[in-house]
Amino acid sequence: MSRSTIPSKELKLLCLRSGNLCAFPGCNRELVSEGAELENPVVLGEVAHVVADSPQGPRGLATSVAPTNNSYDNLILVCGDHHKLIDSQPHAFTVDVLKAMKAAHERRVRPSQTGFVAGPSVSQVKEELTLTALIVTHLPRYVYLARCNYTTGEDDLVKQKTKWPLDRNVLAPFLLKNQNIYCFQDLRNANNPFRMVIERGTEDRIETDILCSEIDGERDLVTLLNRSLYKFAARRNVRYDPEHRRFYFESLKPGTSRTIRYKSLTGKQVSREAVWNPIRRSTGEARRYWWHLAAGLRFHRVADGAWVLTIRPERHLTTDGITPLPPAMIGRRVTSAKSHMFNYQYLSEVGFWRDFVCNGQPRMIVGFGNQSAIVSSNLHRFSVTWPGIPGDEKPIRTNGYEEDLFTMAEFESALKGDSTELEDEEAYEDEEAE
């Protein structure tokens, strides 16, 4: 927003309390530069919004109100370089970070009896951040659809008539919408799982890239991919909690704990409890609830042709390892547990779920017959430079999984299935042309 739209009083207050210096820690750049001979001074300062002046801007909020956004409390004075930096990295420079930055700067430049003395600059440290998501390397090329006698909300009726694949590695998610069924299986195949519910002769297919060009189409594809996770997890005794949209390890029978073997971030084979009954330290008595490791797992499209599987560690609570705990007994316990989950522990939880979904292999392959979704097990890392304390970083290793003949064969088989799908499509198109 241009400076003219900011009330004069608010702008004067901001400039006076900023002391003609950039508020970014360690910068101390003067925001008015003396002009050359016969030239006027040059204003180098720029006014940045803490909460953006529009919902679409950096740190924008759906409830943003323009008059409030242009008040002194929501403005910070910085140089052009740091204005660009904080707006291009809104996840690093959040509303709370900018408010703290503004307050600290104005305290530092406030005049005193001895005059202003610039405080020590804040050190810039370079850190390695780890993406808590796995990169999707391959998606099914097509989504198939056909007319159906069922519509939205009648999924259970379709499930009763679906001929589920005998191969446990083949999944058959579907979506009902406007009396059409959408899926990844080729509905023109006479043995497709949904042959009992579709109207023959109405089969069609659409490329996923074209489907994603529309918001509703992208939403439908995301729904299909996420539904494939339900059965994928269930086959390993991990249930989905639709109310909280998270997956959790369940006890194999009531009143018993459950331990999982997995490969840690350092590459070691270790064990940890995935379901357990905590003990009261003072008396040694078992408490009246059970903890379950849980996580939000979801497919997301982050850019054109770019997809990820996000991992958000959570906790689930039951009364006996099976029966959900009443909601009133959950909130404060989960909040307390997550408040003590610091960076390294959080990343360890991400690594645990990475190992689960990839089954300790270089990639996760979600098969749909002749098509697959393939997710890399690598936890991608990137560098960022920001204010911090030198030497306060804890080195983190995110070892990947070694490739072997079996994992390569499985990968090639999945790719071959996609290739077969493409050949079938070309043959079908040739047949139509004839």
> Is residue 255 exposed (0-12), middle (13-18) or buried (19+ Cβ within 10 Å)?
exposed
3 state DSSP class of 238 = strand
Q: Which residues of the chain have pLDDT under 70?
A: 1-4, 35-38, 55-56, 61-68, 111-123, 388-399, 417-434
Residue-level pLDDT at 432: 43
Indicate the length of the chain as a whole number. Answer: 434
Instruction: For residues 420 and 160, give the distance between their C-alpha atoms in angstroms, rounded to a whole number.
Output: 29
Residue-level pLDDT at 427: 44
Which region holds residue 19: left if phi is over 0, alpha if psi is between -120 and 50, else beta?
left
Bridge partner residues of 113 (DSSP): none
Residue-level pLDDT at 431: 43
Residue-level pLDDT at 131: 87
DSSP type of residue 247: E
Residue-level pLDDT at 434: 41
Find the helix or strand (DSSP H, E) in which 225 lies: helix 215-234
DSSP notation for 75-98: EEEEEHHHHHHHHH-TTTS-HHHH
Buried b (16+ CB within 10 A) or exposed e, 384-396: eebbbeeeeeeeb
**Which residue type, as a one-letter code, is found at position 358?**
C
Q: Classify strands 238-241 and 204-207 as parallel, antiparallel or unpaired.
A: unpaired
Buried b (16+ CB within 10 A) or exposed e, 335-360: eeeeeeeeeeeebbbbbbbbbbbbee
Q: Classify strands 180-183 and 142-147 as parallel, antiparallel or unpaired.
A: antiparallel
Find the helix or strand (DSSP H, E) in which 232 lies: helix 215-234
Residue-level pLDDT at 422: 47
**Which residue type, as a one-letter code, is found at position 178?**
N
Instruction: For residues 66 and 50, give the distance between their C-alpha atoms in angstroms, rounded to a whole number.
Output: 13
Distance from the Cα of residue 418 to its chain's centroid = 27
Instruction: For residues 319 and 207, give the distance between their C-alpha atoms in angstroms, rounded to a whole number.
Output: 46
Instruction: For residues 129 and 343, give the distance between their C-alpha atoms in angstroms, rounded to a whole number.
Output: 10
Residue-level pLDDT at 53: 75
Which residues are CB-neighbours of 385 under 8 A, at least 6 positions away? 124, 125, 126, 127
Instruction: For residues 145 and 124, give the distance between their C-alpha atoms in angstroms, rounded to a whole number.
Output: 54
DSSP notation for 292-341: EEEEEEEEEEEETTEEEEEEEEEEEEESSSSSBPPGGGTHHHHHHHHHT-
Residue-level pLDDT at 123: 67
Residue-level pLDDT at 191: 93
